Amino acid sequence: MDRRSIHLDGFSHENPVPAACRVGDVLVTGAIHGGGRGSAAEDFPDDAGEQARVMFGRVASLLASEGGSLDDVAKFSVRIADRGVRDELNRQWLDLFPDPGSRPARQVTVGTTQPHILVQCEVLAVLTTDGGRDA
């Protein structure tokens, strides 16, 4: 089985790592946040809700680039800057996953990697398509 790095237009890490990695049907992301490239503070909205919206949108785009969707996510690991972000996170979560019988697992911890990053996540997904690439 081949391991393949996945990059996402408009997003990158400050370190030499891809947005995600895929091995077979398993896709795992690195930290996905709601700011710009890298982690420059000026590239992040001040609003946690906007950062969460961008973060979830990035995850959806990344999955779509591989032929998947949010329906393929098994687990979100989310880091929030403080407990005050949880209400907005939950509101968006319920919008994205309205069926309580079909939601990914989720773990939330307090503390992000930079003070201006108000919410970030890592995702584990199982995809059933090769994303338009030959295996």
Distance CA 90, CA 92 (A): 5
Residue 67, token pair as written in the block: 């032929």
Q: State pLDDT tens for residues 66-121.
A: 999 999 999 999 999 999 999 999 999 999 999 999 999 999 999 988 889 999 99
pLDDT over 70 for what percent of the chain?
95
Q: What mean pLDDT is predicted for residues 28-33?
A: 94
CA atoms within 13 A on the CB side of 80: 18
More confident residue, 14 or 47: 47
The alpha carbons of the chain give a radius of gyration, in whole angstroms, of 14
pTM: 0.91
Q: Mean of the per-residue pLDDT values for the chain?
A: 90
| 85 phi-psi bin (left φ>0, alpha ψ -120 to 50, beta other) | alpha
pLDDT for the residue 135: 43
**In the chain, where the domains are located:** 3-126
Q: Which CATH architecture has domain 3-126?
A: 2-Layer Sandwich (3.30)
Both structure tokens of 31? 């930290």
Instruction: Report the distance separating Cα 75 and Cα 77, nearest Å.
Output: 7
- Residue 89: CB atoms within 10 A of its CB come to 22
